[in-house]
Amino acid sequence: MTTRSLDSIVDIQVLVNPLAAARSSFNQTLIIGDTNVISVSDRLKLYESAAEVLEDFALTDPEYIAANIYFSQSPAPDKLWIGRQDSGSGETLVEALQACREASAEWYIAICLGAEYADHVACAAYIETATPSSVYAYTTSDADCLTGTASPPDIFTYLKSLGYSRSIGQYATTQTAVYPNNIYAIVAIMGYACGQNSGLANSAFTLKFKQETGIAVEPLTSTQINIIEGNYGNLYLDYANYYTIFEQGRMADGTFFDERINLDMFVNNLQLTIMDLLYQNPKIPQTDAGVTQLIQACNEACDEAVRIGFLGPGTWTGPNILNLKTDDPLPAGYLVQAEALSTQTQADREARKSVPLYIAIKESGAVHSVLVGVYVNR
């Protein structure tokens, strides 16, 4: 069934450009494999545990191995979609990805098992403009990522050059008897993200410093680490022979993953909140009272972003917006404003448009490094 986007009714425009499209959750991942367990007509199936996946797949199947890693993270996610690539008919991974999107709009993160360079490029390009808004996550073991000078460029360098804000990649090659599944490394950190993104108070997170259960750290030189992270690739590393942490949590354009997902969630919630206001009332009048109702709906969406920890109080360092000036405080973490009704054109009024609303939001951010000065006096 084809469903229409809400954009034609509630058009949310954000400076960093997340795509606005309604969905009910942002904590579900899709893993696509070349399997005949799921029929082409069904295309994908929802699982709630590794045990459920094992009912359909064998212990050695890539889909089960990836699912077991996904559900093994802490906090553990509770939903995973597994989709089918119909390679027997010549279907490519990006075609399978498109078919899985048509079959369900609920998954947010897509991972394609067995994907190679060309698949990553095609899938990343598709996800960049797909609706509802989504993320493409991948693991690469391409040694060219260690130098960043190959021609054609490695996948990190290439996607960075395109400025893609919806792709996140991890370099992982280490295979040991204890950790034989590093080709699924990105599955682990996405499992953490989906488990942590519960919608509870203060559930906002950063991917940096997190552990990837079932994944081995990469024994790289400082130069190799700097090259990969300079091209916005991500790694699982050892610190001081004590901490094993994922870093840095960046998308291909350098945006942090938590900003990407939280902005998508915010836009989705804002759009649905305004749509519910229009849907549940006889009408919203083109009066000051009607504008107040719209502002209140926006405030509700902003309050939710504050509750989960995405927004927080701070100083507005952006441009002047109506009555909000650069360096003004945002004690609530946001400010909603509307243009005066007296400024609305007759054409817009006759078209039954609202006056434009403006929302300034302040992200709460996340600490990734600390500088401490110690002064000793004898």
Residue ranges of the chain whose pLDDT lies below 50 = 17-21
Task: Look up tokens 């509630």; give the residue.
Answer: 10
Residue 187: per-residue pLDDT? 98
pLDDT tens per residue, range 41-86: 999 999 999 999 999 999 999 999 999 999 999 999 999 999 999 9
Peptide bond into 211 cis (omega under 30): no
- Rounded to whole angstroms, how far apart are CA atoms 77 and 47? 11
The answer to whether 318 and 255 have CB atoms below 8 angstroms apart is: no
How many Cβ atoms from other residues are within 10 Å of residue 32's Cβ?
Answer: 26
Residue 17: per-residue pLDDT? 46
Long-range contacts from 235-239, C-beta under 8 angstroms, 24+ separation: 235/170, 235/171, 235/172, 236/170, 236/172, 236/185, 236/212
Ranges assigned E (strand) in the chain: 29-33, 44-47, 80-84, 109-112, 135-140, 167-171, 235-239, 243-247, 314-315, 329-330, 334-338, 357-361
Residue 6: per-residue pLDDT? 78
**Residue ranges of the domains in the chain?**
6-256, 281-361
The answer to whether 107 and 141 have CB atoms below 8 angstroms apart is: no
The answer to whether 166 and 128 have CB atoms below 8 angstroms apart is: yes
Residue 332: per-residue pLDDT? 98
Residue 179: per-residue pLDDT? 80
Residue 202 is classified by DSSP as: T
The answer to whether 210 and 192 have CB atoms below 8 angstroms apart is: yes
The answer to whether 152 and 192 have CB atoms below 8 angstroms apart is: no
Residue 175: per-residue pLDDT? 77
> 16-26 burial, b if ≥16 CB within 10 A, otherwise e?
eebbbbbbeeb
- Rounded to whole angstroms, how far apart are CA atoms 373 and 378? 17
Pairing relationship of beta strands 135-140 and 167-171 according to DSSP bridges: parallel
Residue 18: per-residue pLDDT? 45
